[in-house]
Amino acid sequence: MSKYHCECGGLILPDFDSFKLGDTVNCMFETHKPLGNGLISVNQRAFTGIIMKISGDDFDIKSKNKIYDLKRGEFTPADAPGPIEYFRIGKCSCSDGIDENTLPFI
């Protein structure tokens, strides 16, 4: 069992403060497109990238030839499940001391 999978079936959150320049990370990019009649198309694309710049909670992450500006918590370490998996499966329900309000994608 991975260090990110809990016995309860949820996913254990990574340490969001441990990222360094050059780390490989899993990211998700989401776009919204209005379809009319109040409907919106949502497209989510997962990709991996490398941290190129860290400025407080702002990160520049390079994937292929594009640089994305992401916030801390909007990506996960390469060995952890990606953000889409955290949306789909959910976080561990038996972890103590985690403040959900400070996590942008949970």
User: How far apart (Å, rounded) are the C-alpha atoms in residues 80 and 13?
Assistant: 9
Residue 99 has a pLDDT of 47
| Residue 103 placed within a domain | no
User: How far apart (Å, rounded) are the C-alpha atoms in residues 56 and 67?
Assistant: 17
| Residue 27 placed within a domain | yes
Domain count, the chain: 1
Residue 95 has a pLDDT of 57
Residue 102 has a pLDDT of 47
User: How far apart (Å, rounded) are the C-alpha atoms in residues 57 and 54?
Assistant: 7
- State the residue for tokens 């919204």: 32
| Residue 37 placed within a domain | yes
CATH number assigned to the domain comprising residue 76: 2.30.30
Q: Which of 27, 22, 51 is nearest to 105 (CA)?
A: 27
Amino acid letter for position 35: L
User: How far apart (Å, rounded) are the C-alpha atoms in residues 96 and 106?
Assistant: 15
| Residue 44 placed within a domain | yes
| Residue 38 placed within a domain | yes
| Domain that residue 33 falls in | 1-94
Please, what are the averages of pLDDT over each run of 10 residues along the chain (106 residues)? 82 88 91 94 92 95 94 89 83 63 49
